[in-house]
A and B are shown apart, each in its own frame.
Chain A
Amino acid sequence: MSAIRREIPSAILSLIGIALLLAFFTTLGFFQELHGILTSWVPIISGCSVGLGFLYMTYAQWMNYQRNKNLNNLIYLIVPLVFFAIFFGTALFSPGNTNSEAYQWLYYHIYKNVGGTVYAVMFFTLASSAIRTMRLFTRDPTGGFRFRLEAAALMFGGLIYTMRQIPLFQVYIPGIVELGEWIMLVPNVGGGRAAVIAAALGAITVGIRTLWGKERATAEVE
């Protein structure tokens, strides 16, 4: 009984992974075909699972309301369902589905707008975090000042490249454009490349461990 719960799924995972590796490294036709079939399957498998999201959301809101029956919680329970119905109904019943004028109108004025605004809000949260982080000196308990090299490096990269992109600074600070581009193309590339290489090695290690059947999340969890 345990094999069907643990070992068999684990073995399926490893076999599929190895088949894809063979499809990449070798010219064997069988694996190329298998690669095509599997990659056409995965969007279907994941597509079938979308209902789970709706269930978990509704369940969490429902339990929240059960625990504390006030007006706010009732709103959080009902509003998503109403908007779900509006969007889903419009998509389902308008001719052309999601390409219909009615759906595009909803999509443009609500979805795109909220998306844009969420990005816009990040300007503010990033600004406040920068104000907090970009401090060159801290007071130590004795009352002296301590220079923070890493904050200075962060500030150097961050502020100069910001200035490079603001028209006013381009006009009044000569050379800021060149300096900004230099930061982006030289030190940034140096640090960034090392980080990318290191993270890639980490990812591959996890990948090999997973194929080996030793990764806990895929091998031991039931």
Chain B
Amino acid sequence: MIKTGTYLDLLLFLVMVATTYYYFSKTKDPEWKPFIRHIPALDAIKEGVGKSVEENKPVHFAMGASGGQLYSTLVSMTLTALAFLRYLAIMCAEYGARLIVHMPYQTESIPIIEGTVREAYAFAGKPELYRREDLRYYGYGSLTWTQGVTASYAEEDVGLNLSVGIFYSDCPISLEMAHIMGGMNIGGTGRWIMVYAFAMMCDYVFLGEEIYAAAAQISKDPIMLTGILIEEVGKFFTYIMLFLGLVLNAVGVNVDVLFSL
């Protein structure tokens, strides 16, 4: 009944599910509080919004030209970007900063983006500050997106630019332009191939997986926080697989076959 060639996948998946179950049940205890290492880029977001209000410049949020992928293998990054968007929108509403959202070209993601922003403003108690015209759409592909974002930076100026999401070859221009305009740059993506641009152009960066951990931390929601712990268990499991693989290969077991189960 179980497809051959997916045993190991299933094992890993079940480990993650079991861990999720374990930690979700832990959150029922209000006393329970896990230790999580500090991520410096997070404080910077607050600082950046404050700076924007002080200088009377808008806050920009970009989730990548194709950051609205809902039915591809990158969907988690879209959802994580939305968690950041919610956090940023609430903060902007509280501080009274203007938030401009640069939407990705996938139109199917527009409803969920607008829903997130609208809900965040309502959550902060200031639904009247929400402006639909500050959700920007630029057409298909990264080339028109980068151009549109750059034009918006130039015209409206940049206080803080938070870029979290799915980035291809679009961030090297938008990030550098935000920097040149004097904006504060914070960002990160889970696509390792593009992280270099964030590391080189941002004032504060989330390196790869840090976006997931950071999204959990900003939520202050115990359920989201468990995400970090679940990942941690996954990492230990990876270490164990690696160690077992090395030992078994050393004693002559065919690891190639073993890992193809």
A–B interface present (Cβ within 8 A): yes
- A216-B3 in contact given A115-B141, A201-B235 (Cβ < 8 Å): no
C-beta contact mask, A13-52 vs B, less than 8 Å → 1, else 0?
A: 0000000010011111000000000000010011001111
> Is the beta-carbon distance between B136 and A119 smaller than 8 angstroms?
no
**Is the Cβ of A217 less than 8 Å from the Cβ of B116?**
yes
- Name the residue among A24, A205, A217 with the largest chain B CB count within 10 angstroms: A205
Q: How far is the CB of B183 from chain A (nearest CB, A)?
A: 14
Q: State whether A118 and B195 are in contact (beta carbons under 8 Å apart), knowing that A56-B110, A195-B208, A208-B16 are contacts in the complex.
A: no
B142 touches A118 (CB 8 A): yes
Checking A28, A214, A222 against B1 with a beta-carbon cut-off of 8 angstroms, the contacting residue is A28
Tell me the minimal C-beta distance from A198 to chain B in angstroms: 4
- Shortest C-beta distance, A156 to chain B (Å), equals 13
- B116 / chain A contacts, CB cutoff of 8 Å: 217, 221
B31-39, B41-49, B52-60, B76-84: which lies at the A interface? B76-84
Task: Tell which of A51, A154, A209, A220 has the most Cβ of chain B within 10 Å.
Answer: A209
B213 CB within 8 Å of chain A:
yes
Interface 1/0s, chain A 178-218, versus B by CB < 8 A?
A: 00000000000000100111110111111111101011111
Asked if B172 is an interface residue, CB under 8 A from chain A, the answer is: yes
**Shortest distance from the beta carbon of A62 to any chain B beta carbon, whole Å:** 8
Contacting residue for B227 out of A49, A56, A118, A205, CB 8 A: A205
Residue numbers in A under 8 Å from B199 (CB-CB): 133, 154
Q: Give the CA-CA distance A137 to B143 in the complex, in Å.
A: 36
Give the chain B neighbours of A63 by CB distance below 8 A. Answer: 131, 133
B133 touches A53 (CB 8 A): no
Contact (Cβ within 8 A) B107 A205:
no
Nearest to B21 among chain A residues (CB) is: A212
Complex contacts, B223 vs chain A, CB 8 Å: 209, 214
Count of interface residues, chain B, beta-carbon cutoff 8 Å: 80
State the interface size on chain A (CB cutoff 8 A): 60
Bound complex: CA A51 to CA B223 (Å): 36
B219's contact among A201, A204, A208, A216, by CB below 8 Å, is which? A216
Whether B105 pairs with A203 at a CB distance below 8 angstroms is no
Task: State A126–B3 Cα separation when bound (angstroms).
Answer: 46
| Interface residues, chain A, with chain B CB atoms under 8 Å away | 21, 24-28, 42, 45-46, 49-53, 56-57, 59-60, 62-64, 114-115, 118-119, 121-122, 125-126, 128-130, 132-133, 154, 192, 195-199, 201-210, 212, 214-218, 220-222
On B, residues with C-beta under 8 Å from A are 1-3, 6, 9-10, 13, 16-17, 20, 24, 70-71, 73-77, 79-80, 82-83, 86, 103, 105-108, 110-112, 115-116, 119, 131-139, 141-144, 146-147, 169, 172-173, 175-177, 179, 190-192, 195, 197, 199-201, 207-209, 211-213, 219, 221, 223-224, 227, 230-231, 234-235, 238
21 contacts between A and B (CB under 8 A): A24-B9, A25-B2, A25-B6, A27-B2, A52-B111, A53-B139, A56-B135, A63-B131, A118-B147, A119-B143, A122-B172, A125-B173, A126-B197, A129-B200, A199-B191, A202-B213, A210-B79, A214-B223, A217-B82, A218-B79, A221-B112
- Top 3 closest A-B pairs, CB basis? A202-B212, A125-B176, A63-B133
